[in-house]
Structure 1
Amino acid sequence: MVQIMSDSSALYSIAQGKEVGLVVNPLSVSVADKTYREFEEIDSDTFLKLVIEGNTPSSSQPSVGETLSLYEQYGDAPLLNITVADGLSGTYQTASAAAQNMPEEKRKNITVINSGTLCGPHRYLVQKALSLAKEGLSTEEILNALAPSLGNHRSFLIPNDFDFLRRGGRLTPLAAKVGGLLKLVPVMTTTKDGKRLEKFALCRSFASAMETICKNFLENKVGPEHYITVSHAGAPALARQALEKLRAVFPDSQIDVLNLSPAFITQGGPQCVAIQYILK
């Protein structure tokens, strides 16, 4: 059976991964002069508290050594590693480099793919791959089954604090400064190559931001065949507001609310909300 592997962008801890047969390689965050593997050594609530107290966070991908260790442990059988979007994280590059450093007999078993996305859609891809692997499909068959989803997804981010995006290079300093002065609600989206975030719109309120996002979903023919997620960083009230709007516009779609991990809180900041869809 093909072993499925992913980083913690798919919002699984190592223990949660074990429960479903998933190998998880955690991302790391640094805050208050300490570095933690997310979900293993720090949870989102604790991390949020430290950030809100004024500590500036940073994040990093799993090291080549950590990835090599997992490949050595699981690489005797076919292994499919589905990583967070290349460019938004260096994880794909690290995972690919680690695979190239494996002995030939194990290297040929390892396939690394760039999901082109993160969080909710990434989680869906991993869950679908797990289901297909348990059905006995080969790596090639799993990739063929994932292909339609890999080509049909979109992510939007509504940050509460421009500074986190500016520090992470996700927003130009000028846009951050202007947006902050105008007290507007920004809507960010991934670029076509999935490697960066760019400004999609500036709105007057969170409600108007959701209207803008739903309009784009409708233009892209999002419907019952898509999976929609609302992921947030300590913003349950905003997440509920987003969920209510999405359920009103897309009553037949599966919509889940998820908590963002520390690594993505580092980029989006406290109180940010991500709205995403992916074709099932």
Structure 2
Amino acid sequence: MKIITDTGSLYSPEEGRKIGIDVLPLNVMVDHKNYQEYVDIQSSEFIEIVKQGHVPTSSQPAIGVTMETFEKYPDEEILVINMADGLSGTYQSTLGAKESIDNNENIHVINSMTLCGPERYLVEKAVQLKDEGLSLDHIMKELHKSIAAEKSFLIPQDFGFLKRGGRLTPLAATVGGMLKITPIMTTTKDAKRLEKFAMKKTFKSAIKEIIKAFQEMGVNEDYKIYVTHAGVLEQAQAAMAQIQEAFMNTVIELYELSPAFITQGGPGCIAIQTIRK
């Protein structure tokens, strides 16, 4: 069995090779120049380019690249874990690549309904279960159990990026003009867009609101929590410490967001997510 994912999982192709998976890079374009994230450009240098005033765009892996990857494994079952359909075109592009290949019954594509930390966890879980010798059907059922108990929040610094990306509900898009507030966004039930969850006066009170939401959904040591950021390490570490105090027995991991996500959320944004193991 071959496991394939995209860089929405925060895995680079090089990191993927180390654990025996293929990782397809998303693309970002700045000033008419195209980059494969984690291959041609890293998050820190991407943020610096964007801060200079350049407006980036992002796109899913080229369908031809996905097809070539599938064709490398004609005699193996292939499990693809893609970032949320709607927040990215990657899932639909992967389905298109599958349909373009003859004898594609061995290709199985999962819409993770999430991205970043929780998507990374799903990849790790799939690799672990594969190593334990579980069947493809069993692995897919276990992944869907985790997907059903996932929750994502985003605290943006610059609403312009979210508006340009079109990932907001119409109501949420009106929030961007409000000043001196900390907006909390969350994914819609179908995970295709972002909607307003709450508005708080301070960053610390916003984290407190997210902690409350996690407590209400029963987050405990059976979950993992992810804090990911776009170039604001100290603020992310402060959020992590605040969350860890509330969930002392829950594993929390900290990562830098990928260029494609920064294209949508903007520099300075912080994502806080959880998923059941």
Q: TM-score range by the shorter chain?
A: over 0.9
Does the 8 A contact of 1:227 with 1:278 survive in 2? Answer: yes
Q: How many angstroms apart in 2 are the aligned matches of 1:151 and 1:177?
A: 29
- Displacement of 1:133 in angstroms is 1.2
Residue 255 (structure 1) aligned with residue 252 (structure 2): yes
Letter in 2 for 1:39: Y
Question: What displacement does 1:267 show?
Answer: 0.5
Counterpart selection for 1:246 from 236, 240, 243: 243
Partner Cα separation in structure 2 for residue 29 and residue 73 of structure 1: 25
TM-score for both structures, normalised by structure 1: 0.96
Q: Which residue of 2 aligns with 1:88?
A: 87
| 2:168–2:193 contact (8 Å) kept in structure 1 | no
Amino acid at match of 1:248: E
Aligned to 1:116: 113
Amino acid at match of 2:186: T
Please give the alpha-carbon distance, in whole angstroms, between the structure 1 residues aligned to 2:178 and 2:227: 27
CA contact (8 A) 1:7 1:25 kept: yes
Equivalent in the alignment of 1:97: 96
| Aligned equivalents of 2:102, 2:192: Cα separation in 1 | 30
Shift of 1:175: 4.9
Percent sequence identity is 50
For residue 43 of structure 1, what is the aligned residue in structure 2? 42
Q: Name 1:32's counterpart in structure 2.
A: 31
| Aligned equivalents of 1:142, 1:166: Cα separation in 2 | 37
Which residue type is aligned with residue 12 of structure 1?
A: Y
Per the alignment, residue 137 of structure 1 pairs with 134
**C-alpha displacement of 1:176:** 4.7
Deviation at 1:96, TM superposition (A): 0.8
Deviations 1:207-241 (A, max 9, x none): 11101101101111111100000000000111011
Task: Measure the CA separation in 2 of the matches of 1:120 and 1:239.
Answer: 14
User: Quick check: 1:11 aligned with 2:10?
Assistant: yes
Amino acid at match of 2:88: S
Aligned length: 277
Matches within 5 A, 1:124-203: 124-171=121-168, 175-176=172-173, 178-203=175-200
**CA distance, structure 1, for counterparts of residue 114 and residue 169 of structure 2:** 21
Q: Distance in 2 between matches of 1:112 and 1:174?
A: 32
**How far did residue 75 of structure 1 move?**
3.4
Higher mean displacement: 69-78 or 156-165: 69-78
Q: Which runs of 5+ in 2 are unaligned?
A: none
Whether the aligned pair in 1 keeps the contact of 2:172 and 2:194 (CA below 8 Å) is no
Question: Residue 15 of structure 2 aligns to a residue in which SS?
Answer: helix
Q: What's the CA shift string for 1:125-182, capped at 9, x where partnerless?
A: 0000011112222211111222210110000000011111111113367755654333
Instruction: Say if 2:273 is the partner of 1:276.
Output: yes
Structure 1 distance, partners of 2:190, 2:207, is 24
Cα deviation for residue 108 of structure 1 reads 1.1
CA root-mean-square deviation: 1.3
CA offset digits 1:45-86 (Å, max 9, x no partner): 110000001000110001211110100012320110000000
For structure 1, the 5+ residue unaligned runs are none
Q: 2:15 is aligned with what amino acid?
A: Q
**For 1:171 and 1:110, how far apart are their aligned partners in 2?**
32
Q: Partner letter of residue 236 of structure 1?
A: L
C-alpha distance in 1 between matches for 2:132 and 2:196: 41
Alpha-carbon distance change, 174 to 216 in structure 1, aligned in 2, over 3 angstroms = closer
* SS in structure 1 of the partner of residue 40 of structure 2: coil
Range with greater deviation from structure 2 (219-228 or 70-79): 70-79
CA contact (8 A) 2:169 2:193 kept: no
Report SS of the residue matched to 1:130. helix
